[in-house]
Homo-oligomer: A and B are copies of this chain.
Amino acid sequence: MPRPSPISPTVDFDRDGVQHGFLRLPYSRDDSAWGSVMIPICVVRNGEGSTALLTGANHGDEYEGPLALYELARTLDPKNVSGTVIIVPAMNYPAFRAGTRTSPIDKGNMNRTFPGRPDGTVTEKIADYFQRELLPRADIVFDFHSGGRTLDFVPFCATHILSDKDQETKAFAAVEAFSAPYSVRMLEIDAVGMYDTAAEEMGKVFVTTELGGGGTSRAGTVRIARRGIMNVLRHAGIVDGAVEKDRTRWLDMPSGDCFSFAEEDGMIETMVDLGEKIEAGAVVARIYPTGRTGQAPQEIRAKMSGLLAARHFPGLVKAGDCAAVIAVETG
């Protein structure tokens, strides 16, 4: 039998009303022998009903999710709720406070850490608590992502192609309700360690997003996030009111040919902007050697036609970095 989680919540998941509290995770270290990581959590409950588990900052440098969820936690009125909304606006809280993708404590990438371990690193302990305590409470699981400091995406909502078609149908309906400018059907090749997989294997309706990136947020993408999450909660019957539908364009990333990788270090120029069209064979990015002038840049050519769905964000690039992702519009 696994040992119990060392995390103790200061909220009661079965109490009606709004509670603002913490998941307290003891963390002994050089600068605090008896210290803890205090992960903010909000529970809004109004009687029986479905439970939605909402998370942001699974990666700590992605802001549309936290901006939507701190605001939601502050403003959601239990009178408009039937059931329970559990909000953890900054899931990998140490990473979020540092503004980094992974935890500064243990370099843990939360989305490759599931199912976690109760006696592991701080990141593993958080994953274990979600795995064994929070996910089992949920009916619908919504996890916000954006590109973070090093990637930028066209704004989309997405879920996975699943073997359980009933579960898949419910998830795509939630994506549809979110009404992002783009929606994506994802076929995960290597799903090991993902929060997505943990939720889906428990049969939950799991929905996620990519809503921009670059380690910032934009007024426009924050509006998409806020409207979208309310739409999903309304669609699920947990918040009252009608879904505010908007047009979405469905994208596919059909194969590994979608992804282009740099093979040199240098300065990157992306030849089209996000959402723009690119033809197979055209130069999608160039990588300049910077040690001297007069040298030709390396050219990375598109392996397929489509639109630029994601790109490397920083001006410098390293060999092995994903330079560009092309997607195909399907409807």
Contacts and interface: CB of A to CB of B under 8 A. Distances in A.
Interface of A: 3, 6, 18, 20-22, 24-25, 27-38, 40-42, 59, 61-63, 66-67, 70-71, 73-74, 87, 89-90, 96-97, 99-102, 107, 109, 112, 119, 147-152, 190, 192-193, 214-220, 222, 261, 263-265, 267, 269-273, 276, 288, 290-297, 312-316, 318-322
Contact of A293 (B41, B214, B297): B41
- Name which of A25, A29, A150, A220 has the most chain B CB atoms within 10 A of its CB: A150
Contacts of A34: 150-151, 321-322
A99 B314 contact: yes
A293 B70 contact: yes
Determine how many copies of this chain the complex contains: 6
A114 to B, nearest CB: 12
Contact of A273 (B214, B220, B261): B220
A102 B35 CA distance: 14
Contacts of A63: 267, 315
> What 7 A-B pairs have minimum CB-CB distances, sorted nearest first?
A36-B320, A63-B315, A20-B294, A34-B322, A73-B293, A42-B293, A38-B320
Given A148-B33, A150-B33, A269 B67 contact: yes
A321 B293 CA distance: 19
Contacts of A107: 29
B267 A66 contact: yes
- Name which of A152, A190, A315 has the most chain B CB atoms within 10 A of its CB: A315
Contacts of A314: 31, 99, 215-216
A30 B263 contact: no
Contacts of A296: 74
Contact of A269 (B32, B99, B222, B271): B222
A59 B74 contact: no
Contacts of A71: 288, 297
B292 A40 contact: yes
A33 B59 contact: yes
- Name which of A74, A119, A292 has the most chain B CB atoms within 10 A of its CB: A292
A61 B315 contact: yes
Given A216-B214, A216-B313, A290-B90, A320 B27 contact: yes
A234 to B, nearest CB: 21
Nearest to A68: B269
A89 B293 contact: yes
A36 B321 CA distance: 6
A30 B101 contact: yes
A188 to B, nearest CB: 14
Contacts of A18: 294
Contact of A218 (B96, B112, B273, B320): B273
Contacts of A70: 267, 288, 290, 293, 297
Given A38-B319, A273-B220, A315-B99, A267 B24 contact: no
A277 to B, nearest CB: 12
Contact of A217 (B67, B73, B276, B315): B315
Given A20-B294, A293-B73, A32 B267 contact: no
